[in-house]
Amino acid sequence: MENQKYAKIFKIVLWVLMGLSVCVLVWGFFTGFEANDGAATNVLLTWAYIVLGIALAAVICVGIYIRAITDPKSLVKLGIYVLGAAVLAGLVYLISPGSPAIGFSGPVPPSASELKMTDTILNLAYIVGGCAILSIIAGEVIMAIRKK
C-alpha cells in the first residue's frame, strides 16, 4: 500500500517535469535559440540543471530512506563512503596546479580559482576512470582464477 502511494507520487512528479520540459523546449524553438543573445539556450540549460538536481536529490533521498528502513546499520557504511569521497576530492584539490590556460582567446580569462577547480575535476575524472578500468580488469582476472 505504501509503495503504491510513492509510485503514484513519483509518476505525477515525472509527468509534471516532463510537461514543463516540453514547454521550455517548445518555447526555445519558437523564440529561436540564437535570438536575444541566446536567452532561450540559457533558459534551457538552466532548466536542465534544475531537473538534474531534482533527479539527483530524489535518487539520493529515496536511497537513504530505503536504506534507513531496511538496514539502519548500513547508513554508517554509507557515511564512510561519502567521507572517503570528500577526502579524495579534497586531496585532489590540494594537488591540482591550476595552471594558466594556454592559447586562450576569449574576452575574459578564467580566474585562478576557476582554473584550479577545472584541474580538480579533470584529475578526479582521470582517477575515477582509471579505478573503473582497473576494477573491471581485476574483476575479470579474479573471476577467471575462481573458475579454474
Q: What is the pLDDT of residue 126?
A: 96
Contacts of 59 (CB under 8 A, 6+ apart): none
Look at the pTM and tell me if it is higher than 0.85: no
| Domain residue ranges of the chain, discontinuous segments joined by + | 1-70, 73-148
Give me the phi and psi of 17, to 5 degrees please. Answer: -65, -40
Q: Is the dihedral of CA 48, 49, 52, 53 positive or negative?
A: negative
Long-range contact set of residues 11-17: C-beta below 8 Å, sequence gap at least 24: 17/51, 17/54
Among left, alpha and beta (phi > 0; psi -120 to 50; other), residue 98 is left
Query: Going residue by residue through the chain (148 aa), what tens digit of pLDDT does each one get?
Result: 566 777 787 788 889 888 988 888 888 778 776 777 777 778 888 888 888 888 888 878 888 888 888 888 888 988 899 899 999 999 999 999 988 888 888 888 888 899 999 999 999 999 999 999 999 999 999 999 998 7
Task: State the number of CA atoms in the 13 A half-sphere of 60 facing the CB.
Answer: 9
The cell numbers describing 141, all together, are 582476472
What is the predicted pLDDT for the residue at 56? 84
Quote the pLDDT of residue 4: 79
Q: What is the pLDDT of residue 1?
A: 55
